[in-house]
Structure 1
C-alpha cells in the first residue's frame, strides 16, 4: 500500500484550491500544477490518447484487450479542493495501526481528531489512516479519487490477464465551486456511462443527489443620522435578518439528514445602506425543490410590499439560479450500471451502502449531459476541514472496485 500512500501524498501536497469568485476556468492557475502532473503520470503508466485542454480537463484511454465488443466506460474525479478551508501547505500525517483512540492533529493548538465526536473512526481500528496536521484540509475530496483511478489503470496495464474493454478516465477542475462539468466534452470522452470516484465511506454507492440552486439577495437601506432616524432610517442588515428568520427554522444542514432538504446561508455581508446575502437551496424531491425556490421569491415579495410606501422601489432583489439536478432521473433508465457496481463490491466482500448524496458531484451534471454517472466511495471522511482523514485500506478497496467493474463490463452480456 505504500505506493498508494506515496501517490496520494504527492497529490495532496499540491495546492489546488478553487475560487468561486474567479471567472476563469480553471478558477485558479495553480490547479494546472496537478493537472499537468496527472497528464505525465497517465502517460508514464501506459495510457494512450492522453490530453489536456485549455480549460484544464484531462482525459486518457486504456485500450481494450479483448476482441469482442464491450461498452466503453469511464471513471471521473476532480482535482480541485474546496475553498471552505485552506488547502495551502498540506502536511499529511500517517497513523499506522490506528488504536481507536484520540489522534492529536496539532498539539500546539490542541486540535484532536476523536472518535467521541467522529464515531466513524472506530470503523477503521487497526488500519492506516492519513490525516491533516490540523491546519489545513487534507484534500481526499477528491484526490483520493484521483489516486484510485490512476492506480487502478496502472494495475490493469501491469496485469493484461485481466480482461477489459476500452476505459476512459477524466479529471476535472472546479468541481467544488459547482463548475466541474462546465466544459467537460462528453462526446470527446466517448463513454457509454461512467462512475465518479467521489464518495465518502467504504461501500457508498449513490445514484441520487440533491436538486440544487443558489440565491443571491441584495437588500437596500436608507442612511439617516441615528439621532433623528425615527420613521426614516432603513437598516438593510436588519431586513436581511428578517429574511433569514422568515425561512423555516429547522430546515438547515445541521438539523436535516437523508432525503430532507434545506436552506443554507453561506454568506452575509453589508452595511446600513446595502447588504448581500448568499443562500443555497437543496432538495432531492423536484416538487419540494421548486417550492423552496418559490418561498425565497415570496419572502422577497413580502418584504418589498412591506417597504413599498417608505422606500418607493424594490428594497429586496432576489436572484435564484439552478445549479444541478438529481441524477436519478437519468440513471434509473440504465439502472444496470448501478447493479454492476454493486456486484463488483459484493464480489470483493464490500457491503454496498446505497443512499442519496447529500450534495452533488460532477456526475449529477454529466448525467444530464448524456453521460449517466453514479458515484462510488473514495474513502475519505470529514471533507472540507481540518478533521479530514482517509483510511488507506478504503482507497485500496476503491482501486479493487474499479478493476472489478472493468472486468465485469467485459464479461457481462448487456441487453
Structure 2
C-alpha cells in the first residue's frame, strides 16, 4: 500500500483532459503521456500480456495461480479527466488527520472546502485527505481507480499465497466524453465479466445507470434593423428562450436525485440570426427516457408552428441502462457485495446518476457493475479523495479476485 499515494499523485499531475469536439481517439494527444507511463509501470510490477493499441486502450493480465480453471474477470478504469474543469497543472494538497473543519484550498482566492456545504467531509475526520489547490479538478475520477487497480495487482503478485484466477485489467481514454468503450475490444479482453472502479464514496456498488442522450437545437433567424423590424425580424435568441421556457423547471440536475431524470442545458450561444442550445437527457426508466425525447420534438414542432420552420433538433443516444444486462448474472454483484462485507464495508447499492464505461461494455457482451474508487465532488475544484478510501478499494479488488476463485457459482 505504500506506493498507492505516490502512484496516485503522479497520475493526477499528468494532464489527460479529454475533448468532446475532437474526432480522434484518444480525443487529446496528451492522454498518451499517462497511457505510456502506465504501460511501463505494468511491465515493471510484473503484469503479463501488457498491450496498448493505436487508440491508447491498455490491457494486461495477471495469470491464474490455481491448478483449476475459474472464471476470468476484469477491472476497468479510465485515465482521461473531465473537460468540465481544468485538469492542467494540478497541484494536489495532502491534509493528514483531518480535523473536521474548513479546509482552505487557496488562501489567495479564498477558496474553501467546507463541511458546512459538503457534508460528506464529516465522515472522514482523522483521515488523510487529498484535495486540489482550488484552481483545477483533482482527477480522482478516475485516476484513483487506476492507482487502486495497479496497487491491487501488485499486491497479488507479491502475495502468491492469495489464490485467484486469471485477472484482466484495462485502462481506457475518453470515458468523460462518453466514448470510453467505443473502441474497447471485448473479445481481446476475454473476461466473463468485469468491474469498473469508477464510483465515489466507500461502499458504492452500482449496476444500473441512466439512459442517456444528447440533443442540439439550432435556430435560424432573420436580422433586420430594430427600428423597422415589425413582422420582419426573426430573433433566434428569443426563440431559443421560448424553447427553454417549455422545459419543466424542476427536472434539472440541481433539483433531482435517486432515479429521477432530468434535462441539463450545458451550453447556449446566440445571435439574432443563429442560436444553439446543447443539452443532455437522462433517465433510468426507459419509457420516461423516450418521453423526454418526445417532449423535445413536441416543443420544436410547437415553435415551428408558431414562428415558422426555424427550429432544428437533433438527438443522439449515448448509452443505455446496464441493469438489463447485469441482472441475469446477478452473482457478479453478489460477489462484490460479499467482498465489501467481509472487509466490514457496508455496501451502498444505488443507481448511478451518470454514465460509466460499464454501461456500454455490458451491452457489448461484458457485464460490468461499478464499484467505488473513493473520491468526492468530481469534475470541479472541490474534488477530494480520502487515502483510506483508496486503500479500502484496493482491498475490495483483491477480495473479489479471491472470492471468485474460491467460490463455486
TM-score using structure 1 length: 0.98
Q: Does 1:382 align with 2:377?
A: yes
What pairs up with 1:249-398 in 2 under 5 angstroms?
A: 249-308=249-308, 314-398=309-393
Q: Does 1:169 align with 2:169?
A: yes
CA distance, structure 1, for counterparts of residue 340 and residue 258 of structure 2:
22
CA distance, structure 2, for counterparts of residue 237 and residue 172 of structure 1:
39
Q: Which residue of 2 aligns with 1:311?
A: none
Q: Which residue of 2 aligns with 1:108?
A: 108
Q: Which residue of 2 aligns with 1:81?
A: 81
Q: Deviations over 1:329-357 (max 9, x none)?
A: 00000000000000000000000000000
SS of equivalent residue, structure 1 residue 121: helix
Q: How many residue pairs were aligned?
A: 409
CA distance, structure 2, for counterparts of residue 400 and residue 287 of structure 1:
39
SS of equivalent residue, structure 2 residue 315: strand
Structure 1 unaligned spans of 5+: 309-313
Q: Does 1:203 align with 2:203?
A: yes
Q: Which residue of 2 aligns with 1:225?
A: 225
CA distance, structure 1, for counterparts of residue 266 and residue 175 of structure 2:
17
CA distance, structure 1, for counterparts of residue 307 and residue 253 of structure 2:
31
Q: Which residue of 2 aligns with 1:241?
A: 241
Q: Cα offset for 1:80? A: 0.1
Structure 2 unaligned spans of 5+: none
CA distance, structure 1, for counterparts of residue 287 and residue 160 of structure 2:
49
CA distance, structure 1, for counterparts of residue 365 and residue 267 of structure 2:
33
Q: Deviations over 1:381-411 (max 9, x none)?
A: 0000000000000000000000000000000
Q: Cα offset for 1:107? A: 0.1
Q: Cα offset for 1:3? A: 1.8
Q: Cα offset for 1:231? A: 1.3
CA distance, structure 2, for counterparts of residue 153 and residue 224 of structure 1:
66
Q: Deviations over 1:7-65 (max 9, x none)?
A: 00000000000000100000000001000111011111111000000000000000000
Q: Cα offset for 1:2? A: 4.1
Query: In 2 relative to 1, CA 159–331 (structure 1 residues): closer, same or farther, beyond 3 Å?
Result: same
CA distance, structure 2, for counterparts of residue 176 and residue 237 of structure 1:
30
Q: Cα offset for 1:73? A: 0.2
CA distance, structure 1, for counterparts of residue 68 and residue 261 of structure 2:
46
